[in-house]
Amino acid sequence: MSGRSRHARAILGEELYGRLSETKVLLVGAGGIGCELLKNIVLTGFGHITLLDLDTIDLSNLNRQFLFRKKDIKQSKAMVAAKTASAFNPNVKITPIHANIKEPQFDVEWFRGYDIVLNALDNLDARRHVNKMCMAANVPLVESGTAGYLGQVQPILKDRAECFDCVPKPTPKTFPVCTIRSTPSQPIHCIVWAKSYLMPQLFGEDEDSGSELDEAEKQGENAKEIAALRKEAQAFKAVRAALRSAPAEEASSSSAAKLVFNKVFHGDILNLLSMADMWRSRAPPVPLDFDAIRAGTFVLNRPSQNGNTASTASGQANSSNGSTSTEKALNGNGASTSTAATPAAGGAGLKDQRALSLQDNLELFVSSTERLAARLRAGEDTISFDKDDDDTLDFVTAAANLRSAAYGIPGKSRWEVKEMAGNIIPAIATTNAIIAGLIVLQAFHLLRRSYSSLRNVHVQFKPSMPLSAIAMCPPNPACGVCRDTYTEILCDPARVTLKQVVDGVLGRGADTDMDSNEGEGPEEVCVYEDKRVLSDPDWDDNDNRTLESLNVTRGKFLSIVDEDGEYATIQVAIGALPPDHPADGSALILPSPLPKPPRRQKPRVATPSPPPPPTTTSKKRAAPDDEIEEIDAPSAKRARKDEDAPNVAASFTPSKKRRLEEDGLIMLDTAEEKIEEDPDVIEID
């Protein structure tokens, strides 16, 4: 017996160990958990591993994604991880794929080619997608996530246990537009403003809001407000142009940055101040003065809401005249953030953790704006925030802190801004390693079909019980994903119409000699693609359009929903015709047998459940743009109700477990604050 496999054989038994070399496993994600997991499955003896990740290696990955080295930065994670881990076991075949799991070629048939899928992802959208594909392909899945010291593993098997979507997920935290645009009161409001409003306005795509405003005016909307918005849009046009034009020889290097500064920290604030009503019950902001801050003579005179002037020294940060929140606020991140015109003395600690004075922030604003402008001039079309892109992080840090100063809000260090803007809870390598081990254990239960051994496992912050294992709950009868009936058609979307597919799948076509569903199943149906309505009993405009013209293509699903709610929804996966299909052959191959959706069960009745263990989830990185891709909706009439189970949240008690939170919009002041505020929400790696 080879020394390499002796332990694995002894622990797993000959039968399971023997099967591992033939088992086809798909590992999605080669990040923090993915690297640990790949190492585990390679060393355990899995023989055929497909490793898929869309990303390239970043410097910030190296502290925990140990399959990567500095020389690998900017290379594909999947490729490098596969190469490194292949060397751990000569008997393994790792197929790396550098792609997004949502791409059309990864359709249901492709998923069906795997015996098990292991998720090591970091966003809800991709997790949901893989969950649905595994439901459609009936492939077991192990889902996972970590958040600092917390983590969890959830084995998922259709019809036997809850799927990822059986438990409703909390809606991401968002902020009212006015809070961000006009009345911030916390550092995070200013960070969101800098990252999600100012950066796109200056460095994002040029959205011509002119025609939109013309239209709004025609529709008779508030003329005064439209005039103000038009003025603001014009002013942004001017600063955008300045950032993109070559700097004049004699102009100072800061001229474009100064233009931006004067617009957003002076002109816009004066505009806001002119709306006196807004400041009756809150302290108004103070316009900032570029030259005075630079010269060290700026005095932040911040009137309180009752009209008194509370003057804050321009000199030392710690002068405690006890007047307003301003000074305290500006010092609020510990001790030494300063309103001082001179650079902050509070330089203890690492460079990034240093508190920044008003003058520091101004200089950082100028230099980062110039660096970003130079990138635009060098050919970059648009630049958006990326926590690992120093220029954008500097810009967001400086712009957020300048805005905070104007509003009397505490400033934040570059380090803190990175954490807050990037939605980061620090990843702990050890948690990832524990979770990766637990994933393999649950995968063994699934492969052995010892379903009674499956457990939802949580790594929790409880010294007396660091691990908790919870028996699997049955699927939620109201789940809009796993309770649907899945089927698949093979077709040429350019040649087959919506009606042909729907009639065919429902067994209504006269030309089908398949077993007919006539007499049973839904009578009147609505048809959706995701949340787009494509037809309903009173609206058949799209019936004779091709699937392609409706953007319903390979890898997507058509949902056929019973108008009366009596039968389960049919999910029709769209697959490609076989390669050897004759060119003049039928454009549609229907499933055989045709799907027979069962009558719906009553939703689970809410019963009191024990309090959930303190688990936490959320996100660390914004979802890639393609994940929020807007499809050019073909005359969508109305949005699909939430997974056609509108009362899921109300009718069903979430079991004790993970709540994975939506990516992107969760904005926390600090990791501690979040956990205190909502012990039920965690950050997921």
Ligand X SMILES: Nc1ncnc2c1ncn2[C@@H]1O[C@H](COP(=O)(O)OP(=O)(O)OP(=O)(O)O)[C@@H](O)[C@H]1O
Cβ atoms of residues 432 and 32 within 8 Å: yes
Among 75, 100, 325, 586, binds ligand X (CB under 6 A): 100
Cβ atoms of residues 620 and 423 within 8 Å: yes
136 binds Zn ion (CB under 5 A): no
* Residue 482 interacting partner from ligand X, Zn ion, none (CB closer than 5 to 8 Å by kind): Zn ion
Query: Nearest distance from residue 243's CB to Zn ion, in Å?
Result: 48
**What residues act catalytically?**
178
Q: What is the DSSP string of 280-324?
A: SSSPPP----HHHHHHT---EEEE-TTS-EEEE-SS-TT------
Distance between alpha carbon 166 and the CA centroid of its chain, in Å?
A: 19
Tokens of 584: 């003049």
The residues in 198-257 that bind ligand X, with binding defined as CB under 6 A, are: none
List Cα–Cα distances, 573 to 108, 549, 591, 592, in angstroms: 7, 17, 10, 14
Residue among 313, 320, 316, 348 at smallest CA distance from 334: 348
Place of tokens 């460079």: 351
60 binds ligand X (CB under 6 A): yes
* Residue 53 interacting partner from ligand X, Zn ion, none (CB closer than 5 to 8 Å by kind): ligand X
**Piece of 54-62, 150-158, 209-217, 324-332 that binds ligand X (CB under 6 A):** 54-62
Among 38, 42, 80, 166, binds Zn ion (CB under 5 A): 166
Distance between alpha carbon 33 and the CA centroid of its chain, in Å?
A: 17
The residues in 461-480 that bind Zn ion, with binding defined as CB under 5 A, are: 479
The residues in 19-48 that bind ligand X, with binding defined as CB under 6 A, are: 28-32, 34
Residue among 430, 424, 438 at smallest CA distance from 684: 424
Query: Nearest distance from residue 649's CB to Zn ion, in Å?
Result: 13
Tokens of 95: 């197929």
Among 20, 38, 49, 52, binds ligand X (CB under 6 A): 52
CA distance linking residue 348 with residue 336, whole number of Å: 10
Q: Which is nearer to Zn ion, 76 or 442 (CB)?
A: 442
Query: Nearest distance from residue 482's CB to Zn ion, in Å?
Result: 3
Cβ atoms of residues 243 and 373 within 8 Å: yes
* Residue 479 interacting partner from ligand X, Zn ion, none (CB closer than 5 to 8 Å by kind): Zn ion
* Residue 447 interacting partner from ligand X, Zn ion, none (CB closer than 5 to 8 Å by kind): none
Q: How many residues bind Zn ion (CB under 5 A)?
A: 6
Q: Which is nearer to Zn ion, 54 or 142 (CB)?
A: 142
**Piece of 116-124, 355-363, 407-415, 641-649 that binds ligand X (CB under 6 A):** 116-124
Query: Nearest distance from residue 135's CB to Zn ion, in Å?
Result: 7
**Piece of 55-63, 109-117, 255-263, 472-480 that binds ligand X (CB under 6 A):** 55-63
Q: How many residues bind ligand X (CB under 6 A)?
A: 24
Tokens of 567: 């039968």
Tokens of 90: 């000569």
Rounded to 10°, the helix 32-44/77-86 angle is 30
Cβ atoms of residues 682 and 659 within 8 Å: yes
What's the half-sphere exposure (Cβ side, CA atoms, 13 Å) at 390? 6
102 binds ligand X (CB under 6 A): yes
Nearest 5°: the CA angle 351, 356, 360 is 100
389-407 burial, b if ≥16 CB within 10 A, otherwise e? bebbbbbbbbbbbbbbbbb
Task: Tell me the sheet residues that pair with 467.
Answer: 459
Site string for ligand X, 404-443 (x = CB under 6 A): -----------------------x----------------
Residue nearest to ligand X (CB): 31
Tokens of 595: 């799907």
Site string for ligand X, 124-163 (x = CB under 6 A): --x-------------------------------------
**Piece of 100-108, 182-190, 251-259, 547-555 that binds ligand X (CB under 6 A):** 100-108
Query: Nearest distance from residue 87's CB to ligand X, in Å?
Result: 21
CA distance linking residue 397 with residue 261, whole number of Å: 14
**Piece of 122-130, 207-215, 287-295, 673-681 that binds ligand X (CB under 6 A):** 122-130
Among 39, 77, 658, 674, binds ligand X (CB under 6 A): 77
Amino acid at 231: K
Positions in the binding site for Zn ion (CB under 5 A): 163, 165-166, 479, 481-482
Residues comprising the binding site for ATP?
Answer: 29-34, 53, 61-64, 77, 122-127
Positions in the binding site for ligand X (CB under 6 A): 28-32, 34, 52-55, 60-61, 77, 100-102, 121-123, 126, 427, 620-621, 685
